[in-house]
Structure 1
Amino acid sequence: MNDLQRTSDWYLSRKGKLTASEIYILLANHKEDMTEAELEQFKKDNPKSRVRTKEVPFSQGTFSYLDEKIAEQFMPNDAFLEYMEDSAPRSRAMDWGTLMEDSARTRYQEETENEVLDAPFVPLKEFEKFAGGSPDGIIRSGGIIEIKCPFNPAVHLKHFLYEKAEDLKEDNLQYYCQIQYNMICVERETGVEVPFGNFVSYDPRTSISKQLKVLRIPKDEEIQLQLLERTQLAVEYFKERIYQINKSEKIV
């Protein structure tokens, strides 16, 4: 396991922040009615359409996620750590993934000859107080890695069928966005371009030739820009909500 992660300091560094592993949540939208001007223009462009609504950020699920992060910012550190201990989901699948991560990293380094450095939580420059990511490793020669060790062997073999980055994007947007966001965080922190992230799937229970899958995920400037735009919107919501909470009277 990455020695810089899953420690008390690591949890505290993530406290109240958007994280790469959950950043895909910011892409969800909700529908609302178009304004009269928007509807008039839309009908000109689409005379046969009966659509009267538009999609706008965010979904109710997104707002719930943001509110949870805001609540964390108001918690003392000791209370937050206790809360994380009590509320963290536990399962055999999660334990398996954590247990296998070191083996996966070692196997990856052996087969690719890439040296992998441990990575801490990396705050997102410009939004340090509100966002960041924790890559599973930084490749010394350039790039990052994201390791997944599925408990279900069938999931690993599904990963094994991926042939291009688009396959991961279509099948698991969460993982795809996690890699892209971690690339942004590391690139901004180091000032060195991060041109790709390697998606690594590992299962030692399968035949030797199928135990490790490495799929290169190139930088996706379009999705990275979208994630940064959504981060900006989320941070604006954070600031407004925190301001409202701070100015609210305790007794009314």
Structure 2
Amino acid sequence: MELNGTKVGVEMKCPFNPINHYHHSQIQSEADLKRVNSDYYWQVQMNMLTYGLGAWIFASFDPRQPEHRRLHWAICYAVPEDMQLACDIMEKAKHYRDQILNEWMFNNKNK
């Protein structure tokens, strides 16, 4: 998808609970998304990192709402500091995984 000539991704949520849609309707920025639902914030940030995009649309849709409240969306921008934090954590996780695999292979090799 393109927005003003720039490629962006889209994350669409259709919450079962209308309260969640209400909370989503309070989101106007990536900072709001992080405050309202940090899991979705990190999902959006990691999607931007994965696809190399600088912006992502977070949208919430509830067909049970009146027409003017059914769809809410906000543009969320990449937060380089948080992306770096996520990369650092993934690197530590990879190192830990490799350590466990190496220990397991060593122990099974000597049996």
Match of 2:87 in 1: 228
Distance 1:239 1:251 in 2: 18
Aligned residues of 2:59 and 2:73 also touching (Cα < 8 A)? yes
TM-score normalised to structure 2 length: 0.88
Among 9, 17, 24, the residue aligned to 1:159: 24
Identity of aligned residues (%): 28
User: 2:21–2:61: 8 Å Cα contact kept in structure 1?
Assistant: yes
Structure 1 counterpart of 2:60 = 201
Is the radius of gyration larger for structure 1 or structure 2?
Answer: 1
Superposed CA deviations along residues 121-174 of structure 1, whole A, max 9, x for unmatched, are xxxxxxxxxxxxxxxxxxx94011111111001110111122222111112111
Q: Normalising by the residue count of structure 1, what TM-score does the alignment of the two structures yield?
A: 0.41
1:232 deviation in Å?
0.6
CA RMSD of aligned residues (A): 1.9
Number of residues of Structure 1 aligned to a counterpart in Structure 2: 109
**Richer in strand (by share):** 2
Residue type of the alignment partner of 2:13: K
Deviation track 1:4-37 (CA, whole Å, cap 9, x = no partner) reads xxxxxxxxxxxxxxxxxxxxxxxxxxxxxxxxxx
Higher relative contact order (CA 8 A, sep 6+): 2
Q: Residue 27 of structure 2 contacts residue 36 of structure 2 at CA under 8 Å; is this kept in 1?
A: no
CA contact (8 A) 2:46 2:83 kept: yes
CA distance in 2, matches of 1:213, 1:227: 27
Deviations 1:190-236 (A, max 9, x none): xxxx1101111111110111111111111100100100011110100
Match of 2:50 in 1: 185
In 1, the alpha carbon distance for the partners of 2:63 and 2:26 equals 17
Mapped partners of 2:28, 2:55: distance in 1: 15
Counterpart among 147, 150, 169 of residue 15 in structure 2: 150
Gapped regions of structure 1 (runs ≥ 5)? 1-113, 116-139, 188-193
Q: Would you say the 8 A contact 2:28–2:74 is kept in 1?
A: yes
**Structure 1 residue ranges, 4+ long, deviating more than 6 angstroms after superposition:** none
